[in-house]
Amino acid sequence: MIIQIYEIKNPAEGKSVVDLGVDQIGIGEINYAQANAISQEIAGKAQTSLLSLSYNIDEIRDIVKSVKFDILHLGAHPDKMFPQHIFKLKDEFPGLKITQVIPVIDDYSIEIAKRYDGVVDFLLLDSFRFSDSKLGATGETHDWNISRKIVQSVKVPVILAGGLGPENVADAIRQVHPAGVNSKTRTDTADGTAKDLEKVRQFVAAVKSV
């Protein structure tokens, strides 16, 4: 079970989270020097997943060239980031691993997920509010029944996100059977400026208890 924690702000925080047993750390849209410093700190210990909310291929290309990371996490809505865009990136950067976010809204989300099966290396299923301009980081769960159907419908590994914390991640795993789980909001400090390391520790323990 892959344990993924977002968003890491600095190298020390990255090291602390990895020392607690996290497999993949998520780096948000920070400057290239900070991102590279985080990646260097945890190299050989865990993987880095670098988030890009852009749907501009030129901008994404610049990120790939400028930052050292293990997995590119494309956070743009699927109606702006199509499989053909991803094929272009994979052709230009052989060996590039990519995660595509899938908003879990209704059964149509299953059809969207299928479009990326065999195209990307991971799917990340996240919650979505129509009032928001971006996907994820809502702190809210979604319909896990739909997520389970997506897991059953694709061959690519699926990471479940969306309002997961120490108190509910075990239930989510039992219901959805994903390849991995992601936590951001519910393992943040109260003010959202850093990770709450005790919550991260509890999250890892809950995942490993299943």
Q: Nearest-CA neighbor of 140 among 108, 123, 113, 165?
A: 165
DSSP-based three-state secondary structure for 92: helix
Buried b (16+ CB within 10 A) or exposed e, 83-102: eebbeebbeeeeebbbbbbb
Q: CATH number for the domain including 34?
A: 3.20.20.70
| pTM for this entry | 0.94
Q: How many percent of the chain have pLDDT more than 90?
A: 90
Amino acid letter, residue 51:
L
Q: Per residue in 130-142, pLDDT tens?
A: 545 555 566 789 9
Q: What is the pLDDT of residue 132?
A: 57
Q: How many residues does the chain have?
A: 210
What's the domain count of the chain?
A: 1
Give residue 137's pLDDT: 64
pLDDT at 76: 87
pLDDT, one tens digit per residue, over 185-205 is 999 999 989 999 999 999 999
Quote the pLDDT of residue 60.
Answer: 96
Q: What is the pLDDT of residue 118?
A: 94
Task: Spell out, as residue ranges, where the chain has pLDDT lower than 70.
Answer: 129-138
Give the residue numbers spanning the domain of 111: 2-208
